[in-house]
């Protein structure tokens, strides 16, 4: 069975590459026809200006990684452990980079999103449980982010959170369904700027520079269940499955935007394409990592120093900042939650839709219209309704986020192992299989996350005795 599966995969890739080469040659001689073949949701064949590297899909994925639930996790870390926890940010940076890079490369070279590639390469019995966990995690995260937006807006405007939740969910879903992919991408790029609010909040906190340097470069911690669980939650939050899904699928969407007739039939991949994917991933994770660093700094220099060690949500952190850092810090923290929440929520609901349609081998792309991809857009609507209902029924997703982060942290090693196998497979990636540096970073990240998961299990067992 395994050899037959690999033979079929090799034959499919050979046919796909041959077709891609023919289409590439034809498009090179007939650019006008290529422009006329744009899907109804792209808005035409209008010439595009080059986009700076730092404004690519990686920046959107990196900013979405600092969603309201992640902000709550990092704020909790800063409140509990203070500036001594700043070293976590540089530790996560290379791991975040390799995860985003290999997932983006998979989409660019193979021409399918993460779960579309997984069902081609691995048995469905292995893929289905992972897809279920990924979709369930996306729904919990989406509900928590929607609730976080409502709570943060309620801090600034006297409105009941449930009404804010309904308005926000309706507006975001309407833009996802009616708007073009180009419109969504432009909106997402502007929303990434909201995260700069946390740099301002950290500056207003006036941290001790010596303590900042010590906490950044001298790792410290406590050998107990709480600290290890916090590390696993940070790993699960920063390396969430929806980041893999989003980045791989956005590279596929970019292929369509750049002239491919279908997501699966993209143009021939040049070395410059992968160089852009690499720089795009680096820009995104650097931005995300800097922001998480300043979130820990802001809460560590204020809440931890003031004895406020227990923070359950990002909105609570924003409210708690006012007495110790002034109203400006509170406003900046709350506005950052709202801005990035508007970015992260559609990333998660769309990510759940990508996962579902790909394991079912159904069409799904933001370049397609709802008529062309009814299941895809139905999944987006259903995911949004589920997130709204969880908030309206009184379920507190913020409490579930701790366990969600831990579960995602435990799921990182197997997912990363499978991605490393696929991106190192020359039958799938051809000449673009992983380099030695990528292999070292990727397998090293899998080992570190696996050891953290094992350590969490050991401490949990010891605590039960």
Whether pLDDT at 459 is above 80: no
- CA pseudo-torsion sign 115, 118, 123, 129: negative
Share of the chain above pLDDT 70, in %: 72
Radius of gyration, CA atoms only, the chain = 22
Structural element, H or E, at residue 455: helix 436-463
Instruction: Encode pLDDT of 441-455 as tens digits.
Output: 999 998 988 887 787
pLDDT at 408: 66
Please tell me which of 35-49, 237-251, 388-402 the model is most confident about, judged by mean pLDDT. Answer: 237-251
Residues 136-154: b if buried by 16+ CB within 10 A, e if exposed:
ebbbbbbbbbbbbbbbbbb
What is d(CA 445, CA 451) in angstroms, rounded to the nearest whole number?
10
What is d(CA 241, CA 223) in angstroms, rounded to the nearest whole number?
27
Residue 43: strand, helix, or coil: coil
Query: Running DSSP on this structure, what letter comes out for residue 307?
Result: T
What is the chain's length? 465
Whether pLDDT at 25 is above 90: no
Please state the pTM of the whole predicted model.
Answer: 0.78
What is d(CA 303, CA 269) in angstroms, rounded to the nearest whole number?
49
Whether pLDDT at 422 is above 90: yes
118-122, 154-158, 221-225, 351-355: range with lowest mean pLDDT: 221-225
Share of the chain above pLDDT 90, in %: 24
Banded model confidence at residue 212, pLDDT cuts 50, 70, 90? very high
- CA pseudo-torsion sign 363, 432, 66, 74: positive
394 phi-psi bin (left φ>0, alpha ψ -120 to 50, beta other) = left
Residues 6+ apart with CB under 8 A from 418: 118, 121, 122, 130
pLDDT at 424: 94
Please tell me which of 26-35, 117-126, 265-274, 389-398 the model is most confident about, judged by mean pLDDT. Answer: 117-126
Find the angle CA(70)-CA(67)-CA(126) to the nearest 5 degrees.
75
Find the angle CA(60)-CA(411)-CA(123) to the nearest 5 degrees.
100
Banded model confidence at residue 63, pLDDT cuts 50, 70, 90? low
> Residue 86: how many CB atoms within 10 A of its CB?
27
pLDDT at 20: 43
Please tell me which of 177-186, 197-206, 303-312, 397-406 the model is most confident about, judged by mean pLDDT. Answer: 197-206
User: Residue 436 class from Cβ within 10 Å (0-12 exposed, 13-18 middle, 19+ buried)?
Assistant: exposed
Mean pLDDT (whole number) for 177-206 = 74
User: Residue 177 class from Cβ within 10 Å (0-12 exposed, 13-18 middle, 19+ buried)?
Assistant: middle
The secondary structure of 377-395 as a DSSP string is HHHHHHHHHHHHHHHHTT-
Mean pLDDT of the chain: 77
Whether pLDDT at 423 is above 80: yes
In this structure, what is the dihedral angle of CA atoms 408, 359, 183, 278, given to the nearest 10 degrees?
60
Mean pLDDT (whole number) for 49-56 = 47
Mean pLDDT (whole number) for 164-173 = 90
What is d(CA 359, CA 372) in angstroms, rounded to the nearest whole number?
18
Bigger pLDDT: 184 or 274? 274
Residue 75: strand, helix, or coil: helix
What is d(CA 403, CA 276) in angstroms, rounded to the nearest whole number?
35
pLDDT at 407: 65
Query: Running DSSP on this structure, what letter comes out for residue 264?
Result: T
What is d(CA 454, CA 458) in angstroms, rounded to the nearest whole number?
6
pLDDT at 260: 56
Whether pLDDT at 32 is above 80: no
What is d(CA 166, CA 183) in angstroms, rounded to the nearest whole number?
22
pLDDT at 57: 61
Whether pLDDT at 315 is above 50: yes
Banded model confidence at residue 39, pLDDT cuts 50, 70, 90? very low
């Amino acid at each position: 069975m395994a050899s037959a599966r690999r033979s079929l995969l090799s034959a499919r890739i050979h046919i796909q590459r041959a077709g891609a080469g023919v289409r590439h040659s034809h498009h090179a001689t007939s650019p006008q026809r290529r422009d006329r073949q744009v899907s109804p949701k792209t808005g035409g064949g209008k010439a595009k200006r080059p986009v700076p590297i730092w404004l690519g899909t990686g920046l959107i994925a990196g900013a979405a990684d600092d969603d309201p639930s992640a902000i709550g996790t990092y704020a909790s870390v800063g409140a509990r452990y203070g500036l001594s926890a700043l070293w976590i940010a540089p530790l996560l940076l290379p791991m975040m980079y390799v995860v985003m890079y290999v997932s983006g490369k998979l989409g660019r070279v193979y021409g399918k999103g993460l779960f579309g590639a997984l069902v081609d390469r691995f048995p469905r019995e292995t893929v289905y449980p992972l897809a279920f966990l990924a979709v369930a995690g996306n729904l919990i995260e989406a509900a928590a982010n929607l609730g976080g937006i409502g709570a943060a807006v309620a801090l600034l405007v006297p409105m009941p959170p449930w009404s804010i939740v309904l308005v926000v969910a309706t507006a975001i879903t309407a833009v996802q369904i009616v708007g073009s992919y180009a419109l969504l991408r432009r909106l997402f790029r502007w929303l990434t700027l909201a995260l700069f609010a946390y740099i301002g909040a950290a500056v207003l906190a006036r941290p001790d520079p010596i303590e900042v340097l010590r906490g950044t470069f001298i790792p410290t911690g406590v050998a107990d269940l709480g600290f290890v669980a916090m590390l696993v939650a940070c790993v699960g939050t920063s390396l969430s499955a929806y980041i893999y899904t989003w980045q791989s699928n956005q590279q596929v969407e970019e292929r369509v935007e750049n002239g491919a007739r279908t997501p699966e039939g993209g143009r021939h991949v040049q070395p410059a394409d992968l160089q852009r994917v690499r720089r795009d991933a680096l820009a995104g994770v650097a931005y995300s990592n800097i922001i998480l660093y300043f979130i820990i700094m802001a809460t560590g220099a204020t809440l931890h120093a003031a004895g406020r060690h227990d923070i359950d949500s990002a909105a609570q952190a924003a409210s708690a900042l006012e007495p110790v850092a002034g109203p400006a810090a509170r406003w900046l923290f709350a506005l950052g939650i709202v801005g990035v929440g508007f970015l992260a929520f559609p990333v998660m609901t769309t990510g759940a839709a990508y996962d579902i349609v790909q394991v079912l081998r159904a069409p799904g792309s933001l370049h397609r219209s709802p008529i062309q991809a009814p299941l895809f857009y139905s999944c987006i609507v259903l995911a949004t309704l589920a997130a709204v209902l969880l908030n309206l029924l009184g379920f507190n997703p913020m409490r579930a986020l701790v366990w969600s982060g831990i579960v995602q942290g435990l799921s990182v090693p197997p997912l990363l192992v499978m991605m490393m196998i696929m991106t190192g497979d020359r039958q799938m990636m051809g000449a673009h299989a992983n380099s030695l540096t990528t292999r070292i970073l990727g397998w090293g990240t899998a080992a570190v996350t696996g050891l953290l998961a094992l350590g969490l299990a050991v401490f949990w067992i010891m605590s039960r005795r």
